[in-house]
């Protein structure tokens, strides 16, 4: 399988100038966390929201009415459900938002057996997101064993999350180059690129993206 250029999602944004600077790097998705217990919680609307990057609202067991109001206020392109939302709740959200907003359902992964929890959500959501089991709901800065991803046997494409950091270019590119990664369409970056919760280190992020692009382009050239 040829290497792919993954979708880049940067999550946990809230500072207007930081949003502007990170967007200038050409990322695809930008995540905003609407869960009050998160250290990256967006308590008020930033003065600047991305114009090119798609906006992802991250919710944890929130009621549908609140989700849809925030989706309207922020003109969200994606809704990411990072709690224990049941398939019925997800269907309810889908019925309200229609096809205009894509839905991502996050799951905490530690072993191959954890993929069983994704089955009831097949055909309901657009994407899965696989994160590390940890004390917090996302943003733990720790990886899970990516080798278990080879056991994923569903068709729903997914984003890879959980502790991806500046030094992971080669291991990421190696994973994206193998057949078992065919449903991995992107990566989610957060805590390991931060100066403080909710504030990304733009220079480190840019260096990582440049190195990842060079590595992928090199493999693409060699595979022709």
**Smallest Cα–Cα separation from 177: which of 142, 215, 127?**
215
CA distance 102 to 16: 24
CA distance 180 to 151: 8
**Smallest Cα–Cα separation from 8: which of 178, 192, 138, 185?**
185
Domains of the chain: 7-223 (3.20.20.70)
CA distance 129 to 120: 15
The pLDDT score that the predictor gives to residue 2 is: 40
The pLDDT score that the predictor gives to residue 174 is: 83
The pLDDT score that the predictor gives to residue 134 is: 60
**Token pair 């493999």 in the structure block, residue:** 219
What's this model's pTM, rounded to 2 decimal places?
0.93
The pLDDT score that the predictor gives to residue 101 is: 98
**Smallest Cα–Cα separation from 4: which of 206, 146, 205, 182?**
182
The pLDDT score that the predictor gives to residue 82 is: 96
pLDDT tens digits for 159-214? 999 889 999 998 888 888 775 578 999 999 999 999 999 999 999 999 999 999 99
SS3 assignment for the chain: CCCCCCEEEECCCCCHHHHHHHHCCCCCEEEEECCCCCCCECCCCCCCCCCCCEEEEEECCCCHHHHHHHHHHHCCCEEEECCCCCHHHHHHHHHHHCCCCEEEEEEEECCHHHHHHHHHHCCCCCEEEEEECCCCCCCCCCCCCHHHHHHCCCCCCEEECCCCCCCCHHHHHHHHCCHHHCCEEEEEECHHHEEECCEECHHHHHHHHHHHHHHHHHHHHHHC
The pLDDT score that the predictor gives to residue 1 is: 42
The pLDDT score that the predictor gives to residue 187 is: 96
* Percent of the chain whose predicted confidence (pLDDT) is above 70: 91
The pLDDT score that the predictor gives to residue 180 is: 58
Residue 133 in tokens = 């089991």
The low-confidence residues of the chain, meaning pLDDT below 50, are 1-3
């Amino acid at each position: 399988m040829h290497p792919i250029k993954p979708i880049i999602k940067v999550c946990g944004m809230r500072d207007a100038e930081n949003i502007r600077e990170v967007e200038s790097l050409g990322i695809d998705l930008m995540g905003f966390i609407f869960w009050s217990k998160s250290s990256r919680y967006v308590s008020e609307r930033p003065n600047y929201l991305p114009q090119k990057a798609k906006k992802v609202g991250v919710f944890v067991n929130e009621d549908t009415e609140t989700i849809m109001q925030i989706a309207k206020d922020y003109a969200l392109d994606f809704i990411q459900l990072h709690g224990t939302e049941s398939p019925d709740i997800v269907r309810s959200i889908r019925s309200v938002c229609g096809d205009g907003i894509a839905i991502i359902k996050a799951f905490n992964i530690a072993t191959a057996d954890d993929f069983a929890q994704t089955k009831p959500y097949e055909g309901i959501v657009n994407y899965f997101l696989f994160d590390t089991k940890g004390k917090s709901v996302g943003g733990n800065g720790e990886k899970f064993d990516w080798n278990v991803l080879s056991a994923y046997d569903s068709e729903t494409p997914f984003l890879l999350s959980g502790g991806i950091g500046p030094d992971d270019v080669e291991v990421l590119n190696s994973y994206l180059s193998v057949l078992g990664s065919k449903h991995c369409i992107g990566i989610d970056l957060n805590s390991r690129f931060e100066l403080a919760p909710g504030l990304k280190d733009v220079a480190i992020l840019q260096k990582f993206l440049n190195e990842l692009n060079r590595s992928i382009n090199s493999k693409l050239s060699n595979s022709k």
